[in-house]
Each structure stands twice: as structure tokens, then as C-alpha cells.
Structure 1
Amino acid sequence: MKPPVELAKTRDFSETISDTFTFVKQNIKPLFKAFFVFSGFFLVAGTISAVFFQMKMVNLANGVMAPGPVANLDYGSSFFERFGIEYFITILLYMITLTVLKVTTFSYVAIYKEKGNLPPTTEEVWGYIKYYFWRILGASFVSNILLVIGFVFCFIPGVYLAPIFALIFPIIVFENASFGYAFNRCFTLIKDNWWLTFGILLVTWIIIYACITAITLPAALFNVIGMVMHPQKGTNLSMTASVLTVVLQHLCLVFLIIPIVTISLCYFNLTESKEGTNLLERISKLGEIKPENDLPAEEY
């Protein structure tokens, strides 16, 4: 059996990806427990809201694509009337779920390191979540806006900023930092290591995307096969397959734990290679005399 993953150390490309999956495998029970305890309510609520929204969209699409006059679609309806409150509730719950997922995973990793590579309890993780939730939510909102702006302007700025902004979140949690400090520090840490960090995150996301696609693709293909096998019915989407696809997509959010762990290891790799913080901690502890409090007092 492999020893517990040592977080604070330098890693190359393959070691970072390998240690990511090793860490998740070694901590799969307590890590997934924390995810479902703190994200479960928002995950279920978001899934239910998304199902109702998807049902509405399928009915709308089937009405538009049905044979006959195009009077099935009310072109005078507003955006809100067409999509309904389900759309906004789904987006809101999705954002909250992602934020709780980030805070939970980063908090788990932080406490794991503080406890000397031991899994934290749900009570310990909850303490961190209460402290960092709003900070991570605000950081997510601002960084997402900047990323959208970057992708709109020639796409390349968005690609450049994506791995940099990914480091904001571990900096906030691991260093108890403000957004402003984390924003400046992420540029400092990734200097001369942008390509390595980008490559690690890209490969990890490709693996995760492939896993999610493998789970959700069969339900999506059911719609395509149904339209090909029954062309006389026109372009008619299957309600069952569409709803199943949405449910599976939301359940697959658990896979996002993996890239968050990868980002954490990238952070430790960058801090160790530039600052050697873990090495300095070990050097500072050399010569320390720890009293043996469990020994009986000496009698004279």
C-alpha cells in the first residue's frame, strides 16, 4: 500500500497527475462523504430544477420542430416567459454547488496537510467552509467575469488567464488570503511555470471530460437513434433521454473533485519550487525538544 501523499513537494508533469488520482483514491470515502454532506442538498435541488427546465425546453423544441405551420412558437414571448424561473434557479443552484464543491475540496486538502497527511473530519471541514464560502464565491464571480472578457477578446487572453486564475482559490484557502492578495500572488507563482501548469490542468480536464462524456453520451445518443429510426415522426426529442442526460450531468459534478485536487498540487509544486516553504518548516523544527508529557514525573 502506498504511503499517504505528501502535498508540499515539487513534482513534474506526470507526478502531479499521478499523485492527484492517488490522493483521491486514498481519501475517496472521507472526501466524497464531505462532498455529499455539504453539497448534497444543492446538488439535489439543482438537479430537480434542471429537470423541470429541461422538460420545458424539450416541449418547446418539439413544438418548434413539429411538422406543420410554425405557429407553435410564440415569437412575441419574452425571454423570461419562454425560459421561466426554472432557468434562473438552475443557474443559481449550479453556481452555489460549484462554490461549495470548491470550498469543501480545498478545505479538505488544507486540513489534511495541517494534520500531517491525515483525513479531516466533517466537523473540521465545515469550520473551513463557513469561513471561506463567501470569499470563494466572490472570487469565483470576479474571476469568471474576467475570463469571459478574456475569451471574448481574441480567445487567447482567456486561455492565458485560465490556469493563473485557477490558483486564486487554493491561495485564498491555504494562505488565508484576501482576493486582492491572491490575485497578485497567482501571477507571481506561475511566472516561468505557465506552460507546465497549463499542460497539467489541460490533461486533467481532458480525462475528466472523457469520463463525463462516457457516462452521459448513451442517453444523448438515444435521442439521435430515435430520430434516425423513426424519421416519420420528425425531429422529436425523447423526454426520458433528455431528463436522464441532465440527471447524469449533475451527478457527474463529483468528478470535479479531481481537477480541484490537481490545482492544489500545482499550488504546492509552485510554492515549493519557488520558496521551499515545506523545507524551511522542517529546518526550523530541527533541534526542537519535544517534552514527553506522557512520562511519569521524576521523584527525588
Structure 2
Amino acid sequence: MNNNYIEFKKKRELGDILTDVFVFLRTNFKPLFSVLFKTTGIVLVILLLSIAYYTHATSNFMDPFALGGGAGNLNMFNSGSFLISAFVMIISILIFYGLVFGTVLHYIKEYTDNQGVVLQQNVIDGVKKDLGSIIGLSILSSIMLLVGFMLCVIPGIYLYVPLSLIFPILVFRKSAVFDTISESFELVKNEWWITFATLLVIGLLSYVISMVFSIPAIMYTFFKTFTAASEGSFSDPSSMFDWVFILLNTIASVLQYIIIYLFTAISTAFIYFNLNERKHHTGTLEQIDSLGKTE
């Protein structure tokens, strides 16, 4: 057993979940990121390129000549560059989101099954096996949330809580895609508010931490704005979006996605086991069974 082993299958209060999320990440940082790089590396590169392309296409909004379709310039909407870049970026984010969650949860499954000992190849094999289901659930849940938020926001908030647990259910219970959704609603029944509070706090913390990576891009933008204003050369706002800004913004955006997804994935695992223990006492029964066998 790993000396720093953290027991997932037990009841926890909100404060305990928050503490253990950080402890788990601190004690498993290197091996977890190592396997994450192996499972998400290709998609991560595509995500980097798509965000850079999207940032570049968006900068055309600030270019009066591009928007006006002046001589020698392609109209942004006619060329379709903005729509293409947005579509590619959204698809990349959805796939990256699913892969991060799948990798983290399969890592935790291996971690819990072997008392803290993780074989990376087992994690990679698990992600490959569930890849289709993970991506399908990622797209399906996104559509459900989009519809929910379009229906006056509140339904979207309500749906977000159970849908946040679909990946843990898929990985830990090996449920079918559509079964995970019904099981997620059953799992949060009578526990919606505490689950919502936990997700909200984790979301705020991870967002604040991730914002640190935006500081270089913000500082560079401030410096460029101040310089342009002092020189009286602010007639073309699109000049603010040069290659340096695009690079800084792209790196910051990807790091923010990684931090937020990572913290959320780990926290949903703790939330899942907490709710599962409260309803089914699985961890307690396993401990009793193991004690009986040792005796």
C-alpha cells in the first residue's frame, strides 16, 4: 500500500472533500500529469492551435478594414474563418474535457483498486476502452446543459449537478451511457444542495487559481494599450492582438482548462464516493468483508 494512500470510499463533509482534493493532487501530481500527457497529448496540441487560430480570427472584429471588406481584405464572415475556428475550438475543448475526466477517473479507479499503487498502462487502456462513451457523454451532457441554460438558466443549473457525476458513474460502475444519466439523478436525490455547494466552491477555487496564468496576457495588453494611447496610435484596435498576445492568451487558456478540469474531475470522484457511501455503504461493507477474510 502507498504510505500516502487516501481512502476515497467513505463519507465526507464539504471541508473534508476540499482538503482531500488538494492532498490527492499534491501527492499524485507527477504520475497523474505523466499519464495525462500520454492520453491527451495529441488533443492538447490541436486545442492549442485551435485557440490560437480562434484568437487570430476574433481579432478581425477589431479591424475596420476586414469588417468593411475593403480592397485587398477578405470579409471575415464571407471567408468563414471565424465560424470554422469557433467550431474546431469547441470540438477540441469537448474532447479534451472528456479525456481529462476519463484519465483522472481511471487513475483514481486504479488507485483505489490497488491501495494507492497505479500502473499507468492500465489507466491508458481504460481510457481507450471508454473513449467512445466518454466523448459521447461529453457531447450529450453539453447539449443537455445548453438546452437547460436556454430555458431561463435555472434548469441548466439544476441539470449541472447530476450531470457532473456521469463520468464517475461510467468509470466506477461501468454503466452504459444512457444509464449513467438516470443513475446520476438517483445519486444526487436528496443531496442536491450539498453537491451543488461543493461543486460551486471547487469551481470558484479552481477558477481563481487558474486566473494566475492570465496575468502575463493581461499585463501585456495593458502595456500595449498604454503605449498606443500615449503615442496616439490607437486608431486600429486590432493591432493589440499581435503574435505575442495570441501566444500568451493561448497558453493561459489551455492552462486554465487543465486546472479547472483537473480540480473538477478529482472533486467529482470524491463527491461520487461520498454520495455512494451515504446511500449504499459500499466502502464500509468492503472494509467489513476484508476484516472477515483477514481473520
CA distance in 2, matches of 1:281, 1:159: 34
TM-score computed with the length of structure 1 as normaliser: 0.87
Q: Is the 8 A contact 1:168 1:186 kept in 2?
A: yes
CA shift for structure 1 position 56: 3.2
Report how many residues are paired. Answer: 286
**Mean Cα displacement is larger for which, 7-16 or 175-184?**
175-184
In structure 2, what residue type is equivalent to 1:96?
I
2:250 match: 246
In structure 1, what residue type is equivalent to 2:124?
W
1:294 match: none
CA shift for structure 1 position 5: 0.9
**SS at 2:80 equivalent:** helix
1:109 match: 108
CA shift for structure 1 position 289: 6.0
Deviations 1:95-145 (A, max 9, x none): 222211111011101111111222x12211111011111111111111111
2:196 match: 198
CA distance in 1, matches of 2:275, 2:151: 29
**Mean Cα displacement is larger for which, 264-273 or 211-220?**
211-220
Q: Is the 8 A contact 1:54 1:243 kept in 2?
A: no
Q: Is the 8 A contact 1:164 1:190 kept in 2?
A: yes
Note closer, same or farther for the CA distance 1:81–1:37 as it changes in structure 2 (3 Å cut): same
List gaps (5 residues or longer) in structure 1.
291-300
Deviations 1:182-229 (A, max 9, x none): 111111111121111111111111111111212113313422442244
Q: Is the 8 A contact 1:51 1:243 kept in 2?
A: yes
- Describe how 1:37-52 pairs up with structure 2 within 5 A: 37-52=38-53
In structure 2, what residue type is equivalent to 1:38?
T
The structure in which a higher percent of residues are helix is: 2
1:237 match: 240
Larger Rg: 1
**SS at 2:115 equivalent:** coil
2:13 match: 12
Does residue 171 of the first structure (1) align with residue 169 of the second (2)?
Answer: yes
**SS at 1:158 equivalent:** helix
Q: Is the 8 A contact 2:98 2:134 kept in 1?
A: yes
Q: Is the 8 A contact 1:220 1:242 kept in 2?
A: no
List gaps (5 residues or longer) in structure 2.
none
CA distance in 1, matches of 2:165, 2:113: 19
2:82 match: 83
- Cα RMSD between the aligned structures? 2.5
Q: Is the 8 A contact 2:168 2:272 kept in 1?
A: yes
CA shift for structure 1 position 65: 7.9
CA distance in 1, matches of 2:216, 2:18: 28
Note closer, same or farther for the CA distance 1:23–1:85 as it changes in structure 2 (3 Å cut): same
Q: Percent identity?
A: 26
**Mean Cα displacement is larger for which, 225-234 or 162-171?**
225-234
